[in-house]
Structure 1
Amino acid sequence: MVVKEFGGKDIVIRIDHDKCTGCGECVKNCPADVYELVDEKSVAKRVEDCVECCICVSVCPVNAIEHSSC
């Protein structure tokens, strides 16, 4: 299992790259532009900008994202 962990300002975001399909829903729906697609996988590039709304978790169709605030 390949799980990438990203942290900042007491927030931890884990993305399971085995599950991630690169659909981009997290990128499209995040109001703080935290996510980017890199090599067709989601990456939390700007965790420090996260507003803890948890939209990323709810829109991921394969449940690849875990967020410490959700």
Structure 2
Amino acid sequence: MANIKKWESEEVGCTIGIDYDLCNGDAECVEVCPTEVYEVVDGKSTAPNIDECIECCACVEACPTDAIEHSSC
């Protein structure tokens, strides 16, 4: 069973899920996100600033392990 942590934004209307079994914490999502949605905490990506998301999907495309699921992508 996947270990997926989810963040939801009612303001933006999107959900981001990160599969912690796949996430290696290399911060590609942090680097490519133009609105700083992501942070790495304890070696895993997190999306504490999801309300800033512009739904560009750069994070999904950049993740080398396909750990990010985005409701808009």
Common topology (TM > 0.5): yes
How large is the RMSD of aligned CA atoms in angstroms? 0.5
CA drift of 1:54 comes to 0.1
TM-score normalised over the length of structure 2: 0.93
For residue 26 of structure 1, the aligned residue among 24, 29, 46 is 29
| Aligned 1:1-70 pairs, distance under 5 A | 1-8=2-9, 9=11, 10-70=13-73
Identity of aligned residues (%): 50
Structure with greater strand share of residues: 1
CA drift of 1:2 comes to 1.1
1:52 aligned counterpart, secondary structure: coil
TM-score normalised over the length of structure 1: 0.97
**What are structure 2's unaligned runs of at least 5 residues?**
none
2:16 aligned counterpart, secondary structure: strand
**1-side partners of 2:34 and 2:8: how far apart?**
18
1:69 aligned counterpart, secondary structure: coil
The count of residues paired between Structure 1 and Structure 2 equals 70
